[in-house]
Amino acid sequence: MKTFTLEQIAQVCGGMLSKAKDVAITRIAPPLLADESTLALALGEDEIANLSKTKAQAALVPLGVNIEGFTTIEVERPRLAMMKLITMFYEAPHVNSGVHTTAVVHPTAKLGENVALGPNVVIGEHAEIGDNTKILANCYIGNGAKIGNNCFFHPAVNIGDRVKVGNDVILHHGVSLGADGFSFVTENPNNIEQAKKDGEIKENDVNQVIFKIPSIGSVVIGNNVEIGANTAIDRGTIEDTIVGDNTKIDDLVMIGHNCRIGKGCMIVSQVGIAGSCVIGDRVVIAGQAGLADHLNIGDDSIIAAQAGVSKSFPAKSIVIGSPAMPRKEFIKQMKLMKDAGDLITKFKKYEPLLKTFLEEHEGE
């Protein structure tokens, strides 16, 4: 069990310690779940109020919160301090040392120093694994793939042929990098092409052979990227699909072929990005947003949850709604709809008077 003094915690968090009692801290928890050896995390108003009911004797609180007779560590950025605390108490998943006896490593593959491969890991022909990289059970690394230093792959990660992954990358359970892109063509224009060109579908019930377009590009993942469970990033058709340095991607995200995702982006769960989109640096895409193909989203933009993005937006845009539009325009439209509702309510109120008036003056 990890145990820390209050002085050690305050130093790591960069906080100001007001000590009423000397407590050895063995865990962290919200105030109502804390015991005597717990540091209570009172980061917001509700948690601060709950300190009156806690069994904890010490708490992490925002700067300026001081409770008489209670040990506190005041911090300027509570969430940042919480991250540092969790890192102190974090227990990494167990990783066997070296190469497990059931792992299959092709003779032409190259393993760096201090590489760990778990049970049933498969390393393909001419693949390269960097120093200190840990690959847990049932992962597959394709032929010619290159994995950087200090990476950590959770179980059941699948890396396709020729995929490149940078240094310090974390891939969670079931990540797929380098599957073929969803790219097809018919011999004659199909209904999708007609709809895009003419705005209507002119022919029905025409069966055509759908030809698969092979994907000969790859996927390139930058440094310090983290990708959540069951996220899929497809390889490019000809050019590579790219994810920039320091980008963080949540669970269940789909990124299509030929996309280029910038540096420092945050992409939240269940986002779908169709092929050939270009996403700038530091873009935030909230949960369940969907982007049509061949769009450009400028640097430092924010796409709100469930937005349906069908056109490109410049840098520093905040877009919302479906179809997505700038936030100010969305608010304006919502206000117009409310005003229209108010007008309808007023009309219904006076509608009987109007009906009576028309009846009385009928025929004039």
Q: What's the pLDDT at 364?
A: 65
| Ordered alpha helix ranges (H), 90-240 | 191-198
Q: What's the pLDDT at 191?
A: 75
Ramachandran region, residue 357 (left: φ > 0; alpha: ψ -120 to 50; beta: rest): alpha
Q: Could you give the residue numbers annotated as active site?
A: 257
Rounded average pLDDT over 263-268: 98
Q: What's the pLDDT at 332?
A: 82
Quick one: angle between helices 78-89 and 6-13, nearest 10?
130
Contact between residue 102 and residue 120 where contact means Cβ atoms under 8 Å apart: yes
Rounded average pLDDT over 312-337: 89
Q: What's the pLDDT at 353?
A: 77
Q: What's the pLDDT at 363?
A: 66
Phi first, then psi, for residue 198 (nearest 5°) are -110, -10
* Lookup result for tokens 């018919």: 186
First to last CA, the chain: 94
Task: Give 206-253 pLDDT, tens digit per residue.
Answer: 778 889 999 999 999 999 999 999 999 999 999 999 999 999 999 999
Q: What's the pLDDT at 333?
A: 80
Task: Give 116-159 pLDDT, tens digit per residue.
Answer: 999 999 999 999 999 999 999 999 999 999 999 999 999 999 99
Joined tokens for residue 261: 């995702």
Q: How confident is the model at residue 205 (pLDDT cuts 50, 70, 90)?
A: low
Q: Which of 52-56, 106-110, 190-194 has the highest mean pLDDT?
A: 106-110
According to DSSP, residue 31 is labeled G
Q: What's the pLDDT at 15?
A: 92
Task: Give 148-197 pLDDT, tens digit per residue.
Answer: 999 999 999 999 999 999 999 999 999 999 999 999 988 877 777 777 77
- Quick count: other Cβ atoms within 10 Å of Cβ 48? 17
CA distance 302 to 286: 8
Task: Give 58-95 pLDDT, tens digit per residue.
Answer: 999 999 988 888 899 999 999 999 999 999 998 888 88
Q: What's the pLDDT at 128?
A: 98
Joined tokens for residue 316: 């520093």
**Residues 6+ positions from 270 with CB-CB distance below 8 Å:** 252, 253, 287, 288
Average pLDDT, rounded, for the chain: 92
Sign (positive or negative) of CA dihedral 84, 85, 89, 94: negative
Q: Give the residue among 250, 251, 257 at the shortest CA–CA distance from 293.
A: 257
**Residue 289 in this model has a pLDDT that exceeds 80:** yes
**Residues 6+ positions from 289 with CB-CB distance below 8 Å:** 268, 271, 272, 303, 304, 305, 306, 307, 308, 309, 324
**Residue 204 in this model has a pLDDT that exceeds 70:** no
Q: What's the pLDDT at 276?
A: 96
Q: What's the pLDDT at 234?
A: 98
CA distance 33 to 180: 47
336-354: b (≥16 Cβ within 10 Å) or e: eeeeeeeeeeeeeeeeeee
**Residue 304 in this model has a pLDDT that exceeds 90:** yes
Q: How confident is the model at residue 297 (pLDDT cuts 50, 70, 90)?
A: very high
